Amino acid sequence: MRDHMLTAIDAAAGLEALDAVRIEALGKQGRVTQLLKTLGGMTAEERQEQGPRINGLREAVATAIASRKAVLETVALDMRLASETIDLTLPADAPLAGTIHPVSQVMDELAEIFADLGFAVATGPEIEDDWYNFTALNIPETHPARAMHDTFYFPDEVDPGTGAVTKRTVLRTHTSPVQIRAMQAAGGNTPIRIIAPGRTYRSDSDATHTPMFHQVEGLVIDKGITLGHLKWTLETFLKAYFERDDIVLRLRPSYFPFTEPSAEIDVGYSVVKGKRVIGGADGWMEVLGSGMVHRTVLEAGGYDPDVWQGFAFGCGIDRLAMLKYGMDDLRAFFDGDVRWLKHYGFSSLDVPTLSGGVGA
Ligand code: DAH
């Protein structure tokens, strides 16, 4: 019986056939199950002899089924992968209906607005060194801000000899590490004006948080930079971005490890048909974090803080998009639902320009 069953298992040509063999052997009425039932009616001696034999059979059959199942599943997957390929190089027979995602659109709008103010676009890696993401930004190992970031860590790289950690990497929790990279690239002796838009990651998920989201960072380094420059720049940016002149800013004292002093930027909103709209002064909405670059951060970037000053700011791009274009659930941004993309997406011909309107 054992050989017969094992042969049948090996011969099963597909998952359905294998399941039929399984039911025949191990199902409620299965042959092995029936055998197991006979143990109850045996004398203790008989059971001592037959028990291990029948249980051994059950185990051998179950193991053989499991390994055959793994093989058949791999074959089935390979077949599916081979049959479901799409040749992306084929010309489409219908006109392409794709739209520009609002996040891409807003990134283009940011680049356009800030280019006009003399800012270049800088980038940095999304898999970031712990030093750039935290330490160089004045967030040492023991700093509570590390816990606040819900960081995705990679396994530490360890020296096999000493056991010491040689490299610690994270999915960057903010775009701020690009500040350090931009300073290093500039060599410590030239002014900087950059924005750094890009993907960021935190282990968080609800209507206003997704594990991957987008931020834009801004950094200005020069001699004689003050909070006044920061306020003017952000006011000019927000007026251009929201395309209205009645943008009112409130700088609220706050704390970020990488800036001193730090300010949260609240923007005035008005209520139109029950919805909050940026502009006016019915209430305040927190939009950006900002401040004067901390001495420690300037030093980490290779700048002498007694000679150079700077301001920095950061905010969520997805949130900027929601505030301007009226979506209220962030998760829908990343669902890839064509109906949502049709509704909120932009035509590829709507390139934002300051002269034509960045709102497209
Ligand atoms: N990195 C901060 C965050 O993710 C945002 C931020 C705040 C960036 C203040 C800055 C800044 O450059 O000055 O919450």
How far apart, in whole angstroms, are the C-alpha atoms of residue 53 and residue 58? 9
Domain final residue, candidates 83, 111, 145: 83
Q: Is the dihedral of CA 190, 316, 256, 155 positive or negative?
A: negative
Using CA positions, which residue lies closest to atom 8 of ligand 1?
A: 314
Tell whether 92 is covered by a domain.
no
- Closest ligand 1 atom number to CA of residue 137: 1
Percent of the chain whose pLDDT exceeds 70: 98
pLDDT value at residue 141: 86
140 DSSP assignment: -
pLDDT at residue 165 is higher than 60: yes
Domain-located, residue 28? yes
How far does residue 338's CA lie from ligand 1's centre (Å)?
33
Distance 47 CA to ligand 1 centre (A): 72
96 Cα: distance to centroid of ligand 1 (angstroms): 38
The structure tokens listed for 303 are: 């700048």
Q: Over 90: is that where the pLDDT of 149 sits? A: no
User: What is the distance in A from the centroid of ligand 1 to the CA of 171?
Assistant: 16
CA of 286 to the centre of ligand 1 (A): 13
* Residue bearing the CA closest to ligand 1, atom 2: 314
Tell whether 150 is covered by a domain: yes
pLDDT value at residue 87: 82
Q: Among the atoms of ligand 1, which is closest to the Cα of residue 293? A: 13
Mean pLDDT of 314-332: 93
CATH number of residue 163's parent domain: 3.30.930.10
pLDDT at 360: 47
Residues 52 and 109 in one domain: no
Residue nearest to ligand 1 atom 12, measured at CA:
313
User: What is the largest distance, in Å, between two alpha-carbon atoms of the chain?
Assistant: 97
Ligand 1 pocket: which of 128, 150, 174 to mutate (most atoms within 8 A of CB): 174
**Average pLDDT value for residue range 313-324:** 95
Domain match, 115 and 223 both: yes
Same domain, 108 and 250: yes
Q: Which residue has the higher pLDDT, 87 or 119?
A: 119
Q: Is residue 201 part of a domain?
A: yes
pLDDT at 97 over 70: no
Domain, as residue range, for 159 = 101-347
Rg (CA), the chain: 31
Q: Rounded to an integer, what distance in angstroms lies between the CA atom of residue 200 and that of residue 215? A: 7
Mean pLDDT confidence for 286-306: 98
Q: Kindly give the distance from the C-alpha atom of residue 258 to the centroid of ligand 1, in angstroms, as a whole number.
A: 8
- Average pLDDT along the chain: 92
Instruction: Look at the block and give the residue holding tokens 């002014």.
Output: 191
Q: How far is the CA of 187 from the centre of ligand 1 (A)?
A: 23
Top-confidence residue, 324 or 206: 324
Q: Is the pLDDT of residue 220 over 80?
A: yes
Dist CA 77 CA 55 (whole Å): 33
261 and 312, same domain (yes or no): yes
List strand residue ranges (DSSP E) for 234-299, in order.
Answer: 249-256, 259-272, 275-278, 283-293
Total domain count, the chain: 2
Q: How confident is the model at residue 96 (pLDDT cuts 50, 70, 90)?
A: low
Is residue 91 included in any domain, yes or no? no
pLDDT recorded at residue 95: 58
Query: What is the value of pTM for the model shown?
Result: 0.74
Residue 327 has pLDDT above 50, yes or no: yes
Which residue out of 134, 171, 172, 176 has the highest number of ligand 1 atoms within 8 Å of its CB and is therefore the one to mutate? Answer: 176
Q: Kindly tell me if the per-residue pLDDT of 359 is higher than 60.
A: no
Mean pLDDT along residues 177-195: 98
Same domain, 340 and 312: yes
Number of Cβ atoms within 10 Å of the Cβ of 33: 14
Same domain, 66 and 157: no
Atom of ligand 1 nearest to the CA of 176: 1
If asked whether residues 265 and 145 sit together in one domain, one would say: yes
- Scanning the structure block, which residue is given the tokens 């950061």? 314
Q: What is the pLDDT of residue 143?
A: 85
pLDDT at 205 over 90: no
Instruction: Write out pLDDT tens, residues 98-147.
Output: 889 999 999 999 999 999 999 999 999 999 999 999 999 999 888 887 87
To 5 degrees, how large is the angle CA 134–CA 139–CA 144? 115
Name the pairing type of β-strands 192-201 and 212-222.
antiparallel
Residue 162: predicted pLDDT: 93
Pocket of ligand 1 (CB under 6 A): 174, 176, 217, 256, 259, 289-291, 312-314
Q: Do 52 and 111 fall into the same domain?
A: no
Q: Please name the residue whose Cα sits nearest to atom 3 of ligand 1.
A: 174
Domain limit, last residue, from 53, 83, 113 = 83
Q: What angle do CA 181, 231, 351 make, to 5 degrees?
A: 70
At residue 271, the 3 state secondary structure works out as: strand
317 Cα to the center of ligand 1, angstroms: 13
Among protein residues, the one with the nearest Cα to ligand 1's atom 7 is 289
Q: Do residues 75 and 197 both lie within one domain?
A: no
Which residues pair with residue 78 across a beta bridge? none
Q: How many angstroms separate the alpha carbon of residue 226 from the centre of ligand 1?
A: 18
Same domain, 249 and 115: yes
Direct distance between the N- and C-terminal alpha carbons of the chain, in angstroms, rounded to an integer: 75
The reply to whether 356 falls in a domain is: no
- The answer to which of 49-53, 249-253, 285-289 has the lowest mean pLDDT is 49-53
H helix or E strand, kind and range, residue 341:
helix 338-344
Tell whether 37 and 142 lie within a shared domain.
no
Ligand 1 centroid from CA 262, angstroms: 9
Per-residue pLDDT tens over the stretch 25-79: 999 999 999 988 998 889 989 989 888 999 999 999 999 999 999 999 999 999 9
Are 183 and 269 found together in one domain? Answer: yes
Backbone angles phi, psi at 29, to 5 degrees: -100, 10
